[in-house]
Structures are given as structure tokens and as C-alpha cells.
Chains A and B, each alone.
Chain A
Amino acid sequence: MEIPYNSKPRPDTGLYNGKAGIWIFLASEIMLFGGVFSAYVLLRVGAEPGTWSMGLMNKWVGAFNTLILIASSATIVLAWVSLKLKDWAGFRKWKWATVVFAATFLIVKWSYEWPAKFTHYDVKFVSNEAAADVYRGFMGSDFQEKQKEIWQKRYDPKKDTFKDVKLKDMPLDGHIVGYWDKKGYHDVGSAFGLSFWSHAFVWRYDERNVSKRKGSYRDTFMEKDIVAIELAPTHGVWPDRKHASTGKIQYASASDDHAHGGGHHGVRIEKDQISRLSSYEPAHSTFFATYYTLTGLHALHVLGGILVMLYHLLPISRRMYERDPERFTNRIEITGLFWHFVDLVWIFLFPILYLL
């Protein structure tokens, strides 16, 4: 039994089945991403001032990935063109190029972008006084002026919403470089020898004695009877990098018995001062929840595309090409349409997650 119009277009519709199918399928894909996009819009519009954690992305890495994907969209067309010109070697060359670009995109995301966020934390404080103590400790007494400037720059320069944000709700972000327990200071690298996946955690003042997720950094954090953490603030909050990771930061600590050569390069924050300590993981904030959902869903599509393209490079595909070149070429065209869509989704994702 044959299905008609598998490779030749039907005269009155001008389409072969696969092409009709992929366009219909892409319509549903638009609705799928549209659902999450609309969630993004609604949640962002409804966010309280200062709670939409925008501007923490590395936009140059994002731009690099954008270029990579655009390039892959070009190479997949070249692969199809080669096939139309009966150039199998050219097809393989351009198809491999597409696969390499796509894989690069995923590698950048999964080995750099996401892990960097899972090991990046921010702290909210139990009170305005606690926050002021910490900030004053390393920024000097005029910290509030600096802060106002910075926060207005980051969150809402047009509206004067700074005064709505309480000091205690303004997160201080950076890397945890060490901690103190009753025995003294510990470097974090040696104490938390865990993979970056398990670094991601959220810890709150009101769940001091409650442990939900086993095996995470949070459990370690709570079990060690930690009294304070050392946080190296990053440029995320403080644009003048001289405060971060230069070893010049001063903090007041009585039990300064550690063996660091150049002194601490972070801020000491007492456990009692913390109301919420969270890595940049999905649970951090609604922005990050949306970020991981959108980029994760997109990454799954990229992965799917890679698998299909690898299938087209297997010997079985070569045999199909020899048996029915037209149908195989159609398949490459359909893959290309899907791939352009995946690319296009990223072209929307990049500005709304990295730039706007």
C-alpha cells in the first residue's frame, strides 16, 4: 500500500504530505512557546518593583549563541541545496557543520551558562539593619547613595520605584567562597566537593531546621552548623569591580584565625542576618523560573533537531537517498523548516531574557 503524495506535491494544494505536516506542526509549536511567552509577559507586568531579576545574564555569551544558531540555519539550507544539486559530499559537509553549531550551542548552555548560575547566590536580609550592617562593612558609610544609584540603574530607571524597595529585600549577590562554623574558617572548595548541579539551593530563615531536598548543598549548609558565610560580591550588584574579588574588602570579624595568605576576598554574613539565600536556580525568582523553562524547552528542541540530523548522516539514510532521492531531499527540507523555527524561537528568547 502506498500513501500518495509522499514526495511529489499534490497538484491542487502544491504540497507534499511532509511539508503540509511540518507547517501544521509548527503552528502548534508556536502555541506552545506562545503559552510560556504569555506567562512571561503576564508575570513580568505583574511583578512587584525590584523582584524581576533581570540583567544578570551574560549578554555576550547569549549573543555568541545567537550567532551560532543563525549560522546553523544558513548551513542547513546549504546542506539542502547540495542535495538538490546531487552533491552528497557537500550535503554531509554542511549537515555536519549544522550539527557542530547546534552542539556548540548546547555545550555553551549546559557547561557554562547554567552551571555559572547554579553556583551564583544572592542573599536577602532579615532586617534593614542587618543589611545596612553588612553593606556598611565593605562599602563605607555612604553605601546607601551608591546603592540607590545602582539599583535604579538596574531595575527601573524611568519610574522612581527605588523607595518602594526595602533594603532588606535588595539581594546581595556573589559566590560563596568560604564559611565559618564553630571550629573556624573553611574554604568552600574543599568543604563542598559536590558537582555544580547539587550546588543549587534555596535556604530560608524560617526553615532552619527543616530539610526538604536531600543531598543538596543546602543540607550540607545546614548540617555543618554554619555560623556565617563568606560571599564574594560580583559585578552583578556592584558595577565598580574593585569591590569584588580584589582582596581589599574589609570586614569586621573577631575570630579571624584562618590561614588565607592575602586575607578574605569576600564579605562575612552571619547566618542570623540571612532571611533567604538562593542560587540562581529556577526557584530563585519568577524571572529565573521563566528563564530556565523557556531555555530548557528550547534546548530540548535543539537536542531533538540534533538527533534527527544525526539520523540523516547514518548509512541507512544514504541507502534511502539512493532509493528515492527526491523523498530524502524533502526530508532535509522539512528538517530545515523545523530548524529555522527553533532558530527563530531563540531570536525571540535572546532579547526578552538577556537584553530587555
Chain B
Amino acid sequence: METTTKPDVTHEDHHDAHDDHSGQHFLTKYVFSSDHKVIGIQYGITGLLFLLFGFTLIMAMRWQIAKPGEPIPIMGAVLEHVYAHNNAGEPVFKDGIMSSDAYNQFGAMHGTIMVFMGIVPLAFAAFGNYVVPLQIGAPDMAFPRVNMASYWALFSGCVVMTVSFFIPGGSAQAGWTSYSPLASVIPTDGQTYWLIGMVLLITSSLLGAVNFIVTIIQLRAPGMTWFRMPFFVWAQFVTAFLLLLAFPPLEAAGIMQLMDRVCDTSFFLPTGVFDSGATSMAISGGGSPLLWQHLFWFLGHPEVYVLILPAIGIVTEVVANNTRRPVWGYKFMVGSLLVLGFLSFIVWAHHMYLTGMSAKVATFFQTTTMIISIPSVILLTCLFMTLWKGSIRFNTPSMFALAFLPMFGIGGLTGLPLGFNFTDLHLHDSYYVIAHFHYVVAPGTIFGLFAGVYYWFPKMTGRRMNEYWGKVHFWGSLIFMNIIFMPMFLQGFAGLGRRMSDGGATYSLLQNPDLTSGGLSDFIIGLNGYISLGAFGMFLIQLVFVINFFYSIRNGEKVDSDNPWQSTTLEWQAPTPPPHGNFPKQPIVYGDPYEYSVPGAAKDFIPQTQKKRPQGV
């Protein structure tokens, strides 16, 4: 490790390295490993587990929304005994009924877990770690030990977050956005745990981001020029920059909120705050709650692109591979990606239209928000154009990728009314917002991630996942996703607020027959039940995936070659699964990433490493 060799290391050198690896102890090989593939799989398992965990939280909440005040079946009794008690020593799940405190805690942690412990580790860290070095022909990440530190920082953060469910008072309950002054003054310790956990998670992302950027800049194989990189690598590159530059201000804000909670400072507490006992709080005052919102959303908006860009990258790989066509407008897409990355830093205040900002500021941010939709539309259009006249293979990854396009389209287009401040005034903080961003990240990002899991599974294990159950998983997910989120648009239009633990029952016309305006009709309230049924159905369908995943690791159909999808990119030129060090011989790149169906070629794909290429390519 200490000496340097030129990139064209010989076969023998690598062979020795493999022998070193196979002699390693189990702990250093699979647990404290510095191999990017092992770390990628560690990230992947962690991310998938937390996605499932975050989903179970929302199922408990969906029960409460559909049947407010009724005990949760089966899990209610367990939660009553297992879950943390409140500061007064009473169970927050008394008699199996979810209290408002518990609802707030689950809601806050659902968002936090899904975003920071589910999708970021899976989309960015797991796929990035496993696939990026392979796709650019590198032996590993640039800093393998930093890579390991990054995973273990994430792991520590996840432990702190998980432990917070069981401390007195329970976990954080101020929402995943953790707005001050609420978050600063809640007397339970959950919020403090949340902040410490966030600092660890952010540290992990920063280490990861540095590693990705350096790897992509420095370790590209000979011939792998910038515009020969697969689009997925570009997506990870831009994502890494977003994490690198957007996360630190939130870390700063987290440290300041931690100071507010631990050292009684007033960064985010204005003069004259009263607590629930209507006594003036013992603080110096002079802080600004808006400051928190600015710092949070300065991360928060780029974070949206952190969630979506890796998924678009995966979808691009899968679409190109399964339409057997070059990606339409590859350079347009790369350009759009860079513009998108830049613009994502100057749109954050569109999350804050209701904070009383001046019309001029609001105009600026709604203008930039409208502009940022242009590169997004270019990306989506290029992908649709790629389908045009392709001979599409409808396998499981391909179906998830194809469904991603319209689902992400719905998510994106429904964002426009939220980007205009005059329409946002009505829709803000309603179920419409929930529907909008879930269309972006649930049937959007998560479908992209499923496509990635099905697509790269053969490279990781040497076996395919079951196609039949994969398709069952796909159709079930697609149907239930829409059953869950489509009605939420209606509820949002009707004015159902997003944080009500009774699903809006307090404001129903049934309970308040004399209401002349603002009441919620039976139809709107009644949708809650269907949505919750959809959520439970969604859970059952995910079990199909879980079983398929673990079953296929040992019993799946074996792949017949290193390149079962007949793909062009480098990761399929490596052995299956790739050994420590990846390539037996340094690959050299001769062509573009998506040379499918080239006229005059012997096969319908030309691997990037193939030296002999048809004329004119």
C-alpha cells in the first residue's frame, strides 16, 4: 500500500494482492473492510434496513390517521411496553393508542430516517461505492480507509438516532426540518440525540463526498475521458459536490442548535419567547428562527437533488441498456446536470414563502425555481427520447426504470404550483406537499434504486434475482404507490394540513356541521382509510422483495457470463463478483459509454474496452 505503481500494473501484481485479501480475517474482510465493494454493500444493507424501518413508522402513523384514537392492532401492545415513556413516566402508547407525542416522534424520525439514513446511504453511498470505481476502471476508491471511516461514522449516527427512541421522552419530535424555536425548547432529550446523530451523519457524507470527487478526478482509467464517463458517474460526481458544499452549513446550524439546547444560548430564539407555562424564557434572546430555516434549507434543497440525481443516473444506465440505444443527448444531459447542481444552491427559500419574506425576495426565488425546472425537463426528455424507436427489453430493472419516468414527471410537475409563491400560500404545509415530494422520492427515487438493485445484483452476487417475483414486486409497488399518493393531492387541495395526528378529523364537517368554510368533507376524510390500506398493501409487496433478495443471494439463477445484460460499461468487464482490486488487468477505454446497436458492429453493443471499433464511431 505504501509504494506507488503506475496505473498499468501487471497482472501478477494484482494476483498477489488478491492472495493478501483472501488471507484476511473475517472481521477485516467483511466488517472493517476498506474494499469499496464491501463498503458499498454495507451501505446498501444499512440503507435498505432503514428504509424498511422508516416505512414501519409511517404504517403506525397511517393507522392513527385512518382510525384516530383506536389502539394499533398487534404492534400497539408491543410498543406500549418497548417504547420510551414520556418525561412524566407514562407510556406514550397508552393502551396501544398512539398519542400525539408519539405521532410527532414517528413523523420526525420517518423523515430523518428516510432521507439521511435510507436514501442517502443507498443511492449515493452504496451504489456510488460499488459502481463508480468499477465504471471508471479504478482499483478502489482514492482513500480506502477514509471510505471505511465514512461508513462507520454513518453507523454511529444511525445508532444514536435509533437509541433516541428508547430514552425517556422518546426521540426528536420537531419534524425532520427541526425548526426552532420549537426544536430548541422541547424539554426531552430526543432532539439533542437527533442533533448529535445528524452531526455524525453529515460527517459521514462529507468524508464520502471528498472521496468520490477525488476518485472520479484522479482514478479514471486510461482513455476514460470526462465525456466517456457513464452518466451515472456524472450524476454521482455532481451529487458529491452538492453534499460537499450544502451539508456543512447544516452542520454549522446543528452545532448552533446544540448550543441552544445544551448551553442555553439564543441563536435561534428571539427576545420574548414564552414557554408553555406562559412565562418568559430564561434566555438572552436576540436570535433568529429564520436563520435556522435559511441554513436548513440551504442544505435542504440541494438535498432533494442528492436524493434524485443518483436515481436518474441509475435509470439512465438501465434505460440505455434495455432500449439498446445510445442515450439521446448525452452531452445535453451532462450539461443539464451541472446546471441543475449549480441552480440547486439558489432556490432554497421557496420552502419559506410563508415566513413573511418581501415580494422581491420571493420573486427572485420563484424565478430561480422556475429556471431549475428547465434542466430537469431536459433530463427527462432525453430519457424519453432514448425510448423512441428502441427495442425495449421489459425485464424487472427496465420496468422500474420506465415507471420512474412518468412518476418522477408527476412529482416534478406538481412542484410548479409550490414554486410559485401565490399558489404556495394555499398549498403550503398541506397533504399536497406530501404527495408532491413523495412522488419525487418514493415512486421516483426509490423506483430508481430498485432498478439499480435488480440491475447490479448479478454483478454483486453472480446470480440474478427472480424475474417473476420481481415483476410482482414492480406492479404491486406501482399500483400501491399511486393508491397512496394520488389521493393526497385532493386532500391537499381541500386544505388538509400535513401534521395533524387525527388525519383532519377535528376539522371534519361531520363533527362541525355549522362550519361554513374550511371544513373537510367526508370524502376527503374518508380517503385516509384508502391511503392507509394502500400503505399496508405496499408493505406486503415489499416483503416479496425482501424474500426475493435474500433467497436469490444463494439460490438465484446463476449468470452465464460477466456481462449478463450485454452492457457496454466497464463494471461488466470485471470478474463476477469483482475481487479486491477489481480488474485483473488495467482496463483501457477506447469508446463512448453507450455504444448500442452501432451499424456495422458484430454485436448490438460495443464495450468501452473494445479496441477494434466500426468505422466512424
Of B38-46, B138-146, B385-393, the one contacting chain A is: B138-146
Contact assessment for A10 and B5 in the assembled complex, using a CB-CB cutoff below 8 Å? no
Q: Which residues of A contact B219 (CB under 8 A)?
A: 3-5, 17
Q: Which residues of B contact A51 (CB under 8 A)?
A: 285-286
**Complex interface residues of chain A between 292 and 319 (CB less than 8 A to chain B):** 292-293, 297
Of A75-83, A255-263, A282-290, the one contacting chain B is: A282-290
Contact assessment for A47 and B2 in the assembled complex, using a CB-CB cutoff below 8 Å? no
A positions within 8 Å CB-CB of B: 1-8, 10, 13, 15-17, 20-21, 24-25, 27-29, 31-36, 38-39, 42-43, 46-48, 51, 202, 204, 206-207, 212, 278, 281-286, 288-290, 292-293, 297, 320, 323-324, 327
Is B14 part of the binding interface, using a Cβ–Cβ cutoff of 8 Å?
yes
Of A7, A47, A206, A327, the contact of B279 (CB 8 Å cutoff):
A206
Q: Which residue of A lies closest to B8 (CB)?
A: A4
**Complex interface residues of chain B between 1 and 32 (CB less than 8 A to chain A):** 1-7, 9, 13-14, 17, 20-21
In the bound complex, how far is the Cα of B20 from the Cα of A6, in angstroms? 20
Q: Which residues of A contact B266 (CB under 8 A)?
A: 283, 285-286, 289
Contact assessment for A2 and B9 in the assembled complex, using a CB-CB cutoff below 8 Å? yes
In the bound complex, how far is the Cα of B288 from the Cα of A288, in angstroms? 15
Chain A interface SS verdict (over half): helix
4 tightest Cβ-Cβ pairs between the two chains A and B: A35-B252, A289-B265, A35-B249, A1-B581
Q: Which residue of B lies closest to A21 (CB)?
A: B214
**Complex interface residues of chain B between 90 and 124 (CB less than 8 A to chain A):** none
25 contacts between A and B (CB under 8 A): A1-B21, A3-B144, A4-B5, A5-B219, A8-B4, A10-B218, A15-B217, A15-B218, A20-B217, A24-B210, A24-B244, A28-B245, A32-B251, A36-B252, A42-B288, A43-B291, A46-B288, A202-B282, A204-B282, A206-B279, A278-B284, A283-B264, A286-B286, A289-B259, A320-B2
Q: Which residues of A contact B362 (CB under 8 A)?
A: none
Q: Which residues of A contact B255 (CB under 8 A)?
A: 36, 293, 297
Contact assessment for A32 and B249 in the assembled complex, using a CB-CB cutoff below 8 Å? yes
CB distance from B446 to the nearest CB of A (A): 28
Contact assessment for A32 and B252 in the assembled complex, using a CB-CB cutoff below 8 Å? yes
Residue from B14, B210, B280 having most chain A Cβ neighbours under 10 A: B210
Contact assessment for B244 and A39 in the assembled complex, using a CB-CB cutoff below 8 Å? no
Q: Which residues of B contact A15 (CB under 8 A)?
A: 217-218
Whether A35 contacts B248 in the complex (CB less than 8 A), given A3-B142, A286-B266, comes out as yes
Is B253 part of the binding interface, using a Cβ–Cβ cutoff of 8 Å?
yes
Whether A29 contacts B248 in the complex (CB less than 8 A), given A286-B265, A286-B284, comes out as yes
CB distance from B186 to the nearest CB of A (A): 15
Q: Which residues of A contact B4 (CB under 8 A)?
A: 2, 4-8, 324, 327
Q: Which residues of B contact A204 (CB under 8 A)?
A: 282
Q: Which residue of A lies closest to B243 (CB)?
A: A28
Contact assessment for A1 and B282 in the assembled complex, using a CB-CB cutoff below 8 Å? no
CB distance from B250 to the nearest CB of A (A): 8
Is B306 part of the binding interface, using a Cβ–Cβ cutoff of 8 Å?
no
Residue from A6, A8, A39, A284 having most chain B Cβ neighbours under 10 A: A39
